[in-house]
Structure 1
Amino acid sequence: MSDLKTFIGKKINVITTDARYFEGILEGFDKTTNIVLSNSVERIIYKQGEKEENEEIPSGVNIMRGNEIVCIGEIDESQSPDWSKVKGDPLKSTNNPL
């Protein structure tokens, strides 16, 4: 978690336990890895032939609970893909059934 300090003010990506993908600027976090993202968007990537274009849903400021976060990583914008052309299988949820 202490490594998150280096991401403050930078663009990051977040994958959640329900297999959603977000991008935004990391504004802050706490000891339980709850995070605050600004300028965030959710990206929905479709399989080849499923839909013509992927979706990008602006969500502004997001407060995300640490127990719902699977992965956080910094984005290198110099190597950002053309999201309209990216296709792939959906991620599987990491939620365990009760």
Structure 2
Amino acid sequence: MSAMLEPLVDKVVQVITNDGRNIVGLLKGFDQTTNVILDECHERVFSTTAGVEQAAAGPVMLGLYIVRGDNIALVGEVDEEIDAEIDLAMLKAEPLKAVVH
């Protein structure tokens, strides 16, 4: 997975963790065990009743953050133009469930 992350350095990515968290931030680096360093990041918290909560709306701003590689389910690049057009306050969804082994 580390070789696949190299092109994403200094780009905005979304990380889905094994416990169902959704973290969006600027990928600053990673190591051989896929630990990732995100800057200017925030967590998006989904709800079926209240829309998506994120940095501008609440206390989920994370800033500089390290996510352990063994807790990462998915890393993907965010298209910032499309992401900016989404009205997250109106988006309602079930939160992701944790991975069960």
Residue number in structure 2 paired with 1:55: 53
Alignment TM-score, normalising by the size of structure 1: 0.89
- The within-5 A match list for 1:1-98 is 1-47=2-48, 50-51=49-50, 53-56=51-54, 57-80=60-83, 81-96=86-101
Determine helix, strand or coil for the equivalent of 1:59: strand
2:62 maps to amino acid: S
- Aligned-partner Cα distance in 2 for 1:77–1:26: 14
- Aligned-partner Cα distance in 1 for 2:79–2:52: 21
1:90 maps to amino acid: P
- Aligned-partner Cα distance in 2 for 1:95–1:70: 12
- Aligned-partner Cα distance in 2 for 1:43–1:55: 6
Residue number in structure 1 paired with 2:57: none
Runs of 4 or more above 3 Å deviation: none
Question: Share of identical aligned residues, percent?
Answer: 35
Alignment TM-score, normalising by the size of structure 2: 0.87
Which of 86-95 and 25-34 deviates more?
A: 86-95
Q: Deviations over 1:42-87 (max 9, x none)?
A: 010110xx23x43211100101100000000000011112211111
Q: How many residues align?
A: 93
2:52 maps to amino acid: N
- Aligned-partner Cα distance in 2 for 1:79–1:46: 21
Quote the RMSD (CA, aligned, Å): 1.1
- Aligned-partner Cα distance in 2 for 1:72–1:62: 15
